[in-house]
Amino acid sequence: MTAEGRVLLEAGGLTVCREADGSLLLDGADLRVGPGEVLAVTGESGAGKSTLLHALLDTLPPGLRRSAGTVRWNGGEVPAGAGARRWRRASCGYVGQDPALVLHPRWRVERIVGEEVTGPRAERAQRVRQALELLGLGEEFARRRPRELSGGQAQRVAAARALAAGPGLLLLDEPTSAMDRDTARRVIEAIRARRGVPELCTVLVTHDPALVHELADRVLRLSPPSATTPLPPGRLGPLGPRGAERWSGDRGALLAARGLRMVRPDGAVLLEGADLDVVPGDLTVVLGPSGSGKTSLLHALAGRRPAAGGQVLLRGRALAPRAHHRRRDELRAVQLVGQHPAGELNPAHRVGPAVARPLRVLHGLDARGSAVAATELLADVGLTPNLAGHRPHRLSGGQRQRAALARALAARPDVLLLDEPTSALDAVSARVVLDLLDRLRAEGMAVLAVTHDPAVARRADHVLHLRGGRLVPHGPVDPLPTATERTS
């Protein structure tokens, strides 16, 4: 705190519970942030980090309520309801964990970033340009719409929107999770520029100890309100993939791409003439800068976004470019877990039934058998049985990410496509997921992962780099420990 002991943001006894059953998500959290300070909030997945940010802003989703506690800004209490809305508009900038889902799909980037900026038109336009340039987004991005952005670019647009209005309080939830190191440096420097400025403070939620070390003046570590006993791993058993039996002794490609060409909606080439083989039992990792086309590659393989040219082959047979034209057995064989888990799960469906459905539809299990198997799959990804009855909005980002993985595994795929599989996970949860993938690969499953995390790449059998529209072999992966390997 400053020498005069001044506090900009203060919260006392913040408690959040579920309205349905009164269970606690956040239990009596206290924090103080002084002028120019950065407070880092850490803790395992499900500890309530994102809930804390929403409790501070009075933006808790339906079904949750702040049952106790106060929030004070610059000495005055922030009232709930309309008073909090006025405070957020005047003083706060917020970047959530899934920014691509909250960017207006029909607006261009320049309008999104300038939405909360006030003043004369020319001045507003200049501030929008400055915010975009600060985060490495040139003029060509100003006219794009969200569907033309990669995950990392969407994160930067959301950050630019939060920064453009010059908020006194900036709240960031995993702001660099979808970015490569060079791109993340831009965001880090933007946060660093606020340090020491008397009227500004920042609250940063992160799983990355490197960010904490580099930026934080204070650290608040949260723990789940009620401790749970970790579930034993490795319970897939007979529900695991059948690849080991089918592909024993055969190292031919399960999934392949030949001459694949991908373009953005504006016609710019993302991928040109790419060849790719995904082999049984192997982990293939694709690295590359934000916006290089990694997610587009996965979407083409899964049939979510047709390629402009080339073929996708499953066991040597060409797949239809669009998923809804593929046969059921082809859909089962290739499963994709996307980058934004909030968009992967139907918000109306509880997690347990969502995971159980592929077991019934694709594998003929009855209601009881599929429910039991779904609970075991959730346990394999590190989720406790009580979460099976929750809808996605009641889960943390990391829990949603693992629930989406469990649902994909319920199909018993031969090929698993993963987009940033550890981006929302703490170190312990990330190791649980990576260890699970190692066991599944030992049984014959092929895995293709897009990632910015060197810890994932170091487990890979093959590492490729996507840059300038080409897939090329990648050199040695940086041996330094990363967020998935270190604890805070």
Helix H segments across 61-150? 82-91, 109-113, 121-134, 139-142
Question: Considering the chain, what is the average pLDDT of its residues?
Answer: 88
Which token pair is 252? 């031919």
pLDDT at 475: 63
Q: Running DSSP on this structure, what letter comes out for residue 458? A: T
Quote the pTM value.
Answer: 0.79
Burial class (CB in 10 A: 0-12, 13-18, 19+), 96: buried
| CA R_g for the chain | 23
pLDDT at 285: 96
The length of the chain is 488
pLDDT at 102: 78
The Cβ of residue 325 has, within 10 Å, a number of other Cβ atoms equal to 11
Q: Render pLDDT for 247-306 as a digit per residue (tens, 0 to 9).
A: 343 457 999 999 999 998 778 899 999 999 999 999 999 999 888 899 999 999 999 999
Q: Is the pLDDT of residue 52 over 70?
A: yes
pLDDT at 4: 56
pLDDT at 446: 97
Task: Identify the CA nearest to 154 among candidates 163, 146, 143.
Answer: 146
Burial class (CB in 10 A: 0-12, 13-18, 19+), 321: middle
Q: In what order do the strands lie in the sheet with 334-337?
A: 334-337, 415-419, 446-450, 283-287, 462-467, 470-473
Q: Is the pLDDT of residue 404 over 90?
A: yes
pLDDT at 250: 42
pLDDT at 126: 94
Residues 260 and 270: their CA atoms lie apart, in Å, by 10
The band of 344, judged by pLDDT with boundaries at 50, 70 and 90, is confident
Burial class (CB in 10 A: 0-12, 13-18, 19+), 353: middle
Q: Is the pLDDT of residue 238 over 50?
A: no
Which token pair is 404? 């989406």
- Phi/psi for 358 (5° steps) reads -60, -30
Which of 111-115, 373-377, 473-477 has the weakest average pLDDT?
A: 473-477
The Cβ of residue 182 has, within 10 Å, a number of other Cβ atoms equal to 10
Q: Which CATH class is domain 9-221?
A: alpha beta
The Cβ of residue 326 has, within 10 Å, a number of other Cβ atoms equal to 19
Q: Is the pLDDT of residue 445 over 70?
A: yes
Which of 91-100, 229-238, 274-283, 434-443 has the weakest average pLDDT?
A: 229-238
**Residue 453 Cα distances to 8, 185, 192, angstroms:** 35, 15, 23
Q: Is the pLDDT of residue 476 over 60?
A: no
**Residues sharing a CB contact under 8 Å with residue 392, sequence separation 6 or more, in sequence order:** 341, 342, 345, 346, 347, 349, 351, 400, 403
Q: Can you point out the beta strands (E) in 98-231?
A: 169-173, 201-205, 218-221
The band of 423, judged by pLDDT with boundaries at 50, 70 and 90, is confident
49 or 239: which leads in pLDDT: 49
Across residues 311-321, what is the average pLDDT? Answer: 96
Across residues 8-22, what is the average pLDDT? Answer: 93
Residues 398 and 45: their CA atoms lie apart, in Å, by 5
Which token pair is 52? 């804390």
Residues 379 and 402: their CA atoms lie apart, in Å, by 10
Q: Are 225 and 33 in contact (CB under 8 A)?
A: no
pLDDT at 266: 78
Q: Which CATH class is domain 237-473?
A: alpha beta
The Cβ of residue 457 has, within 10 Å, a number of other Cβ atoms equal to 21
Burial class (CB in 10 A: 0-12, 13-18, 19+), 232: exposed
- Name residue 16's beta-bridge partners: 26, 66
Residues 220 and 254: their CA atoms lie apart, in Å, by 46
- Name residue 318's beta-bridge partners: 313
Across residues 416-438, what is the average pLDDT? Answer: 92
The band of 408, judged by pLDDT with boundaries at 50, 70 and 90, is very high
pLDDT at 150: 87
Q: Are 371 and 377 in contact (CB under 8 A)?
A: no
Numbered ranges of CATH 3.40.50.300 in the chain = 9-221, 237-473
Q: Running DSSP on this structure, what letter comes out for residue 231? A: P
Q: Render pLDDT for 180-189 as a digit per residue (tens, 0 to 9).
A: 888 999 999 9
Across residues 208-235, what is the average pLDDT? Answer: 75
Q: Which amino acid is present at 406?
A: A
pLDDT at 12: 96
pLDDT at 426: 86
Angle between helices 397-410 and 367-380 in degrees, nearest 10 = 130
What share of the chain has pLDDT > 70, as a percent? Answer: 91
Q: Are 299 and 255 in contact (CB under 8 A)?
A: no
What share of the chain has pLDDT > 90, as a percent? Answer: 69
Which token pair is 114? 């300038």
413 or 247: which leads in pLDDT: 413
